[in-house]
Every structure is written in structure tokens, then in C-alpha cells.
Amino acid sequence: MESFTFRHTTQKPLAGTKAQAITGVVASGNLEVLLERVLPADQCTIEIATPVVGYGDVWEAVAADFVARTQPGGLRIAINDGGARPDTVSLRLAQGARLMEGGR
């Protein structure tokens, strides 16, 4: 197992008031993302636990792109990875953000 924590400063808080959401399942090629609105509005942390060792730079890039695109200020995001591919990670992060915004 390998774990990372990435801390980002955001320009704005994520919209919505939902306190917590979870999406995805820990299964082969999949992951779960837990999002909690517990941080200051200009902060976002992304914690990752993955059984696939050696992809730290990819995780870092995926997390940075997500933060840049979504501006998830205020969120503590935790990921349990089941060996998902980066595109699946991006998708789940986007799904999680939409849930927190109170979207569909």
C-alpha cells in the first residue's frame, strides 16, 4: 500500500452546502471518494490510499488538474483506491464534487 496527501489552496469555495458525500466503490479498477466540507474555504486536501505502488506523480497530476478545474475549496477529500485508472479517478472526483454542489 502507498498513501499520499496533497494540499491545495483554492481561489474559491465549492458551491453548495452539503456536508458530506461518498461515491464509487473500492473494487478492481475502481475507487471510492469521500468528500467532507470541513476545511477553510480556500483549502482542499486530497488523501489517497492505493495498493498500486509507484504512481505518485500521476496522482499528483490528477489531483492538481481536478483542483484547478473544480476549485473545491473547503473540502477534505479521501480516496480508497482499488487500482483505478487516472480517468476513472478524475470521473469519480467530478462526480463527488457534483454531489457536494447538490447537483443531480
Given the rule CB under 8 A, which residues bind other proteins? Answer: 1, 20, 22, 25-27, 30, 32, 34, 36, 49-52, 55, 57-58, 61-62, 78, 80-83, 85-88, 91, 94-95, 98
Task: Indicate the length of the chain as a whole number.
Answer: 104
Q: Which amino acid is at 74?
A: G
User: What span, in angstroms and rounded, lies between the C-alpha atoms of 4 and 74?
Assistant: 19
- Closest distance of CB 8 from other proteins, Å: 17
Q: Which is nearer to other proteins, 1 or 11 (CB)?
A: 1
Contact call for residues 83 and 29 (beta carbons, < 8 A): yes
